[in-house]
Amino acid sequence: MIPRFILAVTDLSPRGHAALSRAALLSAQHGATLKLVYLAYPGEPPPADAATRLAHHALQLGQRHGIRAEAVSRLSFSVEELLPDVRGADLVVWGTASVRGLRSWFASRPIEQFLRIARRPVLVVRREADEDYRSLIVAVDFTPASRALVDIGLALNKSAQVELFHAVSTANEGKLRYAEVSENAIRAYRNACRRHAQDKMFWLTDSYDSRRNRVLSAVGHGDAARQTVIQQENSGAQLIVVGRHPASRLGELLLGNTANRILALSSTDVLVVPHDHEPASGATAAKRLSEEAPARKVRAGVPKPPDLPNPVATFSTGSAFRTIDASPHAEPGRGFPR
């Protein structure tokens, strides 16, 4: 997936400004069109000049990076109001301030609400965008969606250093201990799980050996979200790429969600890719192509003869203009005065 249309969501906070800078860098890198949209902080009114400031940012980013950038004049007060603009985007770059106070405990954060309803890859920006991503870590679970997850991560920067990471779950070990299984048997089970994960990792990285930068791999042990964040901190990767299974809010509360937990634990940028993500809508893509490369429409069939005389047959004598009658029955030297 190479992004051709990027939507940047901002609340004009410092984190929102970082998201605009990152979106502009990606747009310049991939030749993509950039659209800016404002999302108000939950429960607070937007600044009186929010639309003007957003338009100023679009003009400034377009001139600085040489990209096509435009601002949506309509202000959004909920994530549902963003959906009309999301339908035409290949990538959403998210930059809003963290929700504070009791609201963060009793209500879903806007980014969590957005991830449930928007079936698009979402790049959540936490750090200043000074350069392209030079290194990234991709959290894989060996499902069929893992390969697509790696491809999307590579699409952001084909020359970046990539590390695939998988954490072996310890949930079954707790069940074995509850059943009073010996520690030796549990240790053997853990080693078998690790060998299985390493075999799967080799299968996944084998198809990327032709890249200029070799794809690395690592296998951890424990909670997937926490171990992924620890691995990112140890490796210094600038971006975490993680998939997200479709789930309702109740399901996330009962079973948890790895992507949401990584967003809560990590302080670096995170690209969340829904396993059921969709490309930009066909109507919007067609409109985008027509705007980028306008073409003339030619009707098939025999061309219609012109209603007016052929201008090539027009000549001037002095200051008088005359038109020659080109019909086969016209008398020599006769014409029609204009």
pLDDT per residue over 132-189, tens digit each? 999 999 999 888 888 888 888 888 888 889 999 999 988 788 778 878 888 888 888 8
pLDDT at 230: 95
Q: What are phi and psi of 105, to 5 degrees?
A: -90, -35
Q: Cα(198)–Cα(129) distance, rounded to whole angstroms?
A: 34
Strand partners, 258: none
Q: Which residues of the chain have pLDDT under 70?
A: 100-108, 207-213, 246-256, 279-338
Residues 6+ apart with CB under 8 A from 203: none
Closest CA to 119 of 274, 272, 251: 274
pLDDT in tens, 65-83: 999 999 999 999 999 999 9
The domains found in the chain, sorted by start residue, are: 1-120+278-303 (3.40.50.620), 129-275 (3.40.50.620)
Which residue type does 239 have?
L
Q: Cα(119)–Cα(276) distance, rounded to whole angstroms?
A: 7
pTM of the model: 0.77
Inter-CA distances, 141 with 26, 106, 136, 165, 262, Å:
27, 30, 16, 9, 15
pLDDT at 244: 87
pLDDT at 100: 67
Inter-CA distances, 109 with 23, 162, 321, Å:
22, 30, 77
Q: With contact defined as beta carbons under 8 Å apart, do 207 and 268 qualify?
A: no
The total number of residues shown for the chain amounts to 338
pLDDT at 108: 66
Tokens (6 digits) for 96: 């809003």
Which of helix, strand or coil describes residue 109?
coil
Tokens (6 digits) for 164: 């695939």
Q: With contact defined as beta carbons under 8 Å apart, do 270 and 263 qualify?
A: yes
Which residue type does 272 have?
V
